[in-house]
Structure 1
Amino acid sequence: MNTPFNGLPQGADRIVYVREVAVAELPDEVREQVGEVEVIWSVHGADGRQLALVADKKLAFHLAREHDFTPVSVH
């Protein structure tokens, strides 16, 4: 059976990966901008390129969907 499923994009270029990032692992200039939080979320393209850093997971998923990407959590 070869039935297309329209719930996911057909190409890998429309998928982004969302992962948790410890603020302590970020460069000094980024840590200064973040403030007192210990964890933020990173959005990466399929090629591994970092596209965004955001305050929480919900915002990361929302941002991806607003730009017609399908977000996937990375564990």
Structure 2
Amino acid sequence: MDTKFDFEKFEQGIVYVKPILAADLPDEMRAKVGDLEELFSVHNAEGEQLALVADRKLAFHLARENNMEPVTVH
């Protein structure tokens, strides 16, 4: 294929969802998550954290509601 694709435009809508252990959060945040052991963080392409939510399904829903395409990070 010789069709040019604008990857820069495509990447603007991608967000990355990754699991975060509650034990790795700062103390003040850990106090707010209650008994959750794992949360999910949503990041933009530059690595900036956009959201921290209770479960993966919610992270994906949040991204799609904001016209973004979520991708899992391992």
TM-score by length of 1: 0.87
Identity level (%): 56
Which amino acid in structure 1 is aligned with residue 68 of structure 2?
Answer: F
**Structure 1 vs Structure 2 CA RMSD:** 1.7
User: What is the aligned residue count?
Assistant: 71
SS for the counterpart of 1:61 is helix
How far, CA to CA, are the matches of 1:3 and 1:49 in structure 2? Answer: 29
- Which consecutive residues of structure 2, in runs of 5 or more, have no partner in the other structure? none
How far, CA to CA, are the matches of 2:28 and 2:4 in structure 1? Answer: 49
- Which consecutive residues of structure 1, in runs of 5 or more, have no partner in the other structure? 5-9
The aligned residue for residue 46 of structure 2 is 47
SS for the counterpart of 1:34 is coil
Runs of 4+ in structure 1 off by over 2 angstroms are 1-4
Which amino acid in structure 1 is aligned with residue 33 of structure 2?
Answer: V
Following superposition, the deviation at residue 3 of structure 1 comes to 8.9
